[in-house]
Structure 1
Amino acid sequence: MTLLDNLLFSLSTTLPILLWLAGGHALKRTNRLSDAFIHDANRLVFTWCLPTLLFLNTARSSIVDSWQGDLIGYAAIFTLASIIVLWLITPLFTTDRSRRGVFVQGAYRGNMGIIGLAMVVNAFGTEVIPLASLYLAFITLIYNLAAIVVLQAGQTRLSPLKLVSQLFRNPLIIGVLLGLLWSITGWDLPGLANSTLQGLADLTLPVALICVGASLQFQSLRNNRYLVMIASGFKLIVIPVLAVGIAYLLGFRAEALGILFLMMASPTAAASFVMARAMTPWGELAAEIIVVTTFFSLLTTTLGLFMLRSLGWV
C-alpha cells in the first residue's frame, strides 16, 4: 500500500463525512432546519438509531470464533487508563467543570463504527470483520459507560447508586448489552427484523452528522479553539502513538497492531455530540472537536499507517 493509496483511501472515508457536516451547517444557515427539528432529530438518534446500530454490530459478531482476548484486553485497559489520565489532567486546560466531561469524551472517543471499521476492512480485507466487530463492541461499551460517567460527573456529583442506575438506563448501553446477549445465543436475526432494524441504523450517520453541522457555530469555535485543539491533539496523535508504541513493546504485530492503530486513530465519533447535546449545555464544543479531528485525521491516519508499514510493523 503506497502513500498515495493511503491518502486516496482516507479521503474516500472521511470526505463524505465532512460533506454531511457542511450540508447540515448550510441547511441551518439558510433556515431550512429549525432548532426544534435539530433537537428532535438528535433525540431520535440518541434513543433509537444509534442504539440499533450498536445492537446490530454486536449481535452479528461471533464471540467464540473471533475472540482475541490479548488485543481486546489490551485495548480495553489502555482505553480506561487514558480516560482516567485525561480526567485527572483536564483541570490544567479548563477550570469550567461543566465542560470537563465534554473535553474528555472528545479526546478519547473514536468513530470506530464508521471510519475505524471502514479503514480496517480496506487495509486488511473482509476476513478481519468479525475480530474488528468484537473489538468495536467491547470498546464501544467502555466508551459509552465512560462517557456517561464523565459527562454526568462534569455537571453534578451523583451518588454511586444513582450513577449505576442511570448507566444502565442509557439507550446506548442497552443496545450493546442486548447485542452481546443475542450474539451469545448464536441465532440469526429474522429477516424482517434484520431489514427493519438495519433501516433504522442506517439513519444514524446522516442524521447525526447533519445535526452536528447544523449546531456548529464558528464564533463558538473561536472561543473554544484552545480546548478543541488540545482535545484533537490527544485524539489524533497522543493516544494512537502511545497505544501503538506500548503494544509494539508487548509483542503485537501485523493485523492486530494495524487494527489497534486504525481504531485508536479514528476521529472523534459523532455519538459524542449526541450524548453531549443530550446531557450537557456544551454540544457545540463536542461538534467542534468532531469537525477538527475529522478534518485533520486525513493527515494523521495516512501518515501513521504509512510509517507503520514502512517500519514493517503491520
Structure 2
Amino acid sequence: MTALLDVVLPVFLVLGAGYLAVWRGLFSDSGVDGLMVFTQKFAVPCLLFAAISSLDLGQSFDWRLLLSYFTGSTACFVLGILGAYYVFGRSLPDSIAIGFVALFANSVLLGLPIMERAYGAEALVPNYAIISIHAPFCYLLGITTMEIAITQTRAPIRLLKTVGRAIFSNALMIGIILGFIVNLTALPLPGIVDEALSLMIRAALPAALFGLGGVLYRYRPEGDAKVIAYVCVLSLLVHPAIAYGMGRVVTDLTTDQLRGAVLTAAMAPGVNAYLFANMYGAAKRVAASAVLIGTAATVLTASGWLLLLP
C-alpha cells in the first residue's frame, strides 16, 4: 500500500500546494485564472495534439476499450439522473446536471499523471484513445439530454448548434482535432515546432495540477451531503467497477487497456462538470462540492484500484 501511495500522493501534493497557496493568499485568484487559461487553452491542448498526432490509430482505437469505458460512464449518467430525481427529489434539470457530474471523469488532469506515475509514459496510449472522444461524447449526451428536457420545440437544428458550439469551441477538442489531421495526413512537423511543443508539454500537467488545486479552493462543500456522496460513489466506485467487469469478462481487454479504462473511470469528476452545471444554472453546489470531495477521495480510491489491477 505504501508503494501505491508513493505513486498517487505526489500528484495530490502538487494539487494540494495550489490549494494551500490560494487559501493562504500566496497565489491570487487572478493568478489561478491565468494559470488555468494557460494550461486548459494552450499547454494541455499541445499535449493532446502531440499524443494524438503520433498514435497508431489502427491499434489504439479498439472498440472493446471504448465500449468498456463508455458503458460505465453512460450507466453512471443514467443512475445519477434517476437517483437524483426519484431518491433525492431534485428537479429534472438538476438531476441531469447531477448525472453529468457522474459522467464526466477528470481524465486529463488526474488520469494522465496517475497513470504515468504508475505504469510509465508508454502506457498512456489507451488513455489518449479514451480522452480523444471523451469530451465530445459527454457533451453530446449531456447537452442533448438537457436541451430536450428544458425546451418545448425539440428542434434538432437548435440541438445540433448547441452541442456543436460546446464541443468545437473547446480548446482541448481543437488540439485533439488538429492531432487527428496531422496523424491522418502524415504531415511532418518542422523540428523547431516539435521542440516548442515539447517545452509546452513539459509544463502542462504540473501547472494544471497546481492550478486545479487553486480552483478547488473556490468549491468548498456546502450542504447536499447525501447527493454529493451518491455522485462520488458513482464516479469513484461504480464507473471503474463496470469498466473492470466489462474489460475482464465481456471485452477481454489486454492488461494495458484494462489499466487505462479502469484508472480513467476511477478519476473524480472534472471541473467541466461544474461548468456544465453553471451553464444551465442547475445543481451548481452539488457539482462544485463533488469535484472537490471526489478529488480528495481519489487518493484512497485510486490506490485501491491500482492494487486490484494486474
Tell me the SS of whatever aligns to 1:112. coil
8 Å contact from structure 1 (residues 57, 137) kept in 2: no
Match of 1:170 in 2: 170
Say whether 1:265 aligns with 2:266. Answer: yes
Deviates more, 1:64-73 or 1:175-184: 64-73
Q: Distance in 2 between the 1:211 and 1:224 partners?
A: 26
8 Å contact from structure 2 (residues 102, 231) kept in 1: yes
Match of 1:200 in 2: 200
Normalised to the residue count of structure 2, the TM-score between the two structures is: 0.76
Say whether 1:60 aligns with 2:59. Answer: no
Tell me the SS of whatever aligns to 1:266. coil
Alignment gaps of 5+ in structure 2: none
- Aligned partner letter, 2:20: A
- Aligned partner letter, 2:263: L
Match of 1:21 in 2: 15
Deviates more, 1:93-102 or 1:162-171: 93-102
CA drift at 1:280: 6.3
State how 1:122-201 maps to structure 2 within 5 Å: 128-143=123-138, 145-146=140-141, 153=147, 157=151, 159-166=158-165, 167-201=167-201
Deviates more, 1:280-289 or 1:188-197: 280-289
Q: Distance in 1 between the 2:163 and 2:175 partners?
A: 16
Q: Between the two proteins, what is the percent identity of the paired residues?
A: 21
8 Å contact from structure 1 (residues 232, 293) kept in 2: yes
Tell me the SS of whatever aligns to 1:95. coil
8 Å contact from structure 1 (residues 102, 276) kept in 2: yes
Change (3 A) 1:245 1:171: same
Of residues 81, 104, 108, the one that matches 2:103 is 108
CA drift at 1:188: 4.4
Alignment length, in residue pairs? 301
Tell me the SS of whatever aligns to 2:221. helix
Say whether 1:72 aligns with 2:66. Answer: yes
8 Å contact from structure 2 (residues 104, 273) kept in 1: yes
Q: Deviations over 1:151-210 (max 9, x none)?
A: x75997593143134132332322222222222223443332233234334444344444
Q: Distance in 1 between the 2:36 and 2:116 partners?
A: 29
Normalised to the residue count of structure 1, the TM-score between the two structures is: 0.75
Q: Deviations over 1:220-277 (max 9, x none)?
A: 414243333222111111111122224433151551333322221233345545x459
- Aligned partner letter, 1:261: V
Change (3 A) 1:25 1:128: closer
8 Å contact from structure 1 (residues 72, 138) kept in 2: no
Change (3 A) 1:53 1:89: farther
8 Å contact from structure 1 (residues 51, 175) kept in 2: yes
